[in-house]
Homo-oligomer: A and B are copies of this chain.
Amino acid sequence: MELKGIYPIVPTPFLENGEIDYPSIERLVPFMVRKRVNGLAIMGALGEGHKLIDRERTEVIAAYRRLLPDEMALIVGVRAPATHPATVMATRAQELGADAILLGPPNVQKDAALLEYYRQVSDAARIPCIIHDYPAMTGITLSVELIGRIFEISENIGHIKLEDPPTGMKMQALAPGLKVFGALGGMYALEELELGAVGVMTGFVYAELLVRLFELTQNQQWKAAADLFFDFLPLNRWEFQPGIGASLRKQVLKKLGVFSTATVRHPGQDADARTVAQLFRIVEHLRQKGYALAV
């Protein structure tokens, strides 16, 4: 399955008591499918993957796989403080039907250790593993040189989710052949697609806007793409606020009737009502410009 296009990073819904909320997952999947995305990425940072225990991970992956059409890619976030648990997590995800792994680094700032981690985990996974390069979240810097070595050593590694800004300049420095997904909330999606990004993998709930952007860029309609992108930038910017990204997206999904609660697990921070209201005001601004967005 070719990885290309728009893959929303989705939040994991919880009940008010903190347990996984499977009925909300059952609503979320068709909600996203209708936006004509190319697949879903679960248990990334936004998916609070680091707040689940192993058994929950297994059940959540299975639920998504059961609900998501076979032709749509299921991408599973894996990140662990050591190679063994990451290997088990990746292998388990593959067995449960994941199409790809979004593979974050362990907390070790040593090139040799990082290279070996990526080699071992991707070998065990036997499915594509996307390098997750997000130093602001992980604290780990992946140099262009190291990324090139990981790309060479690992048969299953051919993609990177690039969140180390300035992304445009890093993209141009990367080894040719390595396929790039834009992210960072879509803050630089237009420019990344111009530079050849194969898609965008980020948590923007109004993913239909990214889908439309991607179509326009694929058809070389750059002027229309820019007009669209500059129009919706106030919105994805607001969703992408550090610290409350998960809560805010959950609030939106709750308002839209998709999630039953906006609960985040501790120590997640809750977005307040005002921040949520400001988001819908921006949606309203876009609706007045003619965008048919749900509120």
Residues of chain A whose beta carbon lies under 8 Å from any beta carbon of chain B: 18, 48, 50-55, 80-85, 88-89, 106, 108-111, 113, 116-117, 120, 136, 141, 143, 145, 165-166, 168-169, 172, 187-188, 191, 226, 229-230, 233-234, 237-238, 241-244, 265-269, 271-272, 274-275, 278, 281-282, 285
Residues of chain B with a CB closer than 8 A to A54's CB: 53-55
Select which of B48, B82, B169, B266 is within 8 A of A244 by beta carbon. Answer: B169
In the complex, what's the smallest C-beta–C-beta distance from A116 to chain B, in angstroms? 6
* Contact between A82 and B267, CB atoms less than 8 A apart: yes
* Contact between A143 and B110, CB atoms less than 8 A apart: yes
Residues of chain B with a CB closer than 8 A to A89's CB: 53
* Contact between B81 and A51, CB atoms less than 8 A apart: yes
In the complex, what's the smallest C-beta–C-beta distance from A69 to chain B, in angstroms? 30
* Contact between B106 and A267, CB atoms less than 8 A apart: yes
In the complex, what's the smallest C-beta–C-beta distance from A134 to chain B, in angstroms? 12
Other A-B pairs beyond A82-B267, A233-B237, 14, CB < 8 Å: A50-B81, A53-B84, A83-B265, A83-B267, A108-B267, A109-B109, A116-B266, A166-B243, A169-B269, A169-B271, A169-B272, A191-B238, A229-B234, A230-B234
Q: Nearest residue in B to A92 (C-beta to C-beta)?
A: B53
* Contact between B169 and A50, CB atoms less than 8 A apart: no
* Contact between A165 and B109, CB atoms less than 8 A apart: no
Q: Nearest residue in B to A222 (C-beta to C-beta)?
A: B281
Nearest 5 CB-CB pairs, A to B?
A: A51-B82, A113-B267, A83-B266, A54-B54, A50-B81
* Contact between A267 and B169, CB atoms less than 8 A apart: no
* Contact between B285 and A116, CB atoms less than 8 A apart: no
Alpha-carbon gap, A172 to B81, bound state (A): 28
In the complex, what's the smallest C-beta–C-beta distance from A60 to chain B, in angstroms? 13
**A110-B141, A113-B266, A285-B230 known; A53 vs B166 contact (CB < 8 Å):** no
Alpha-carbon gap, A54 to B56, bound state (A): 11
* Contact between B111 and A143, CB atoms less than 8 A apart: yes
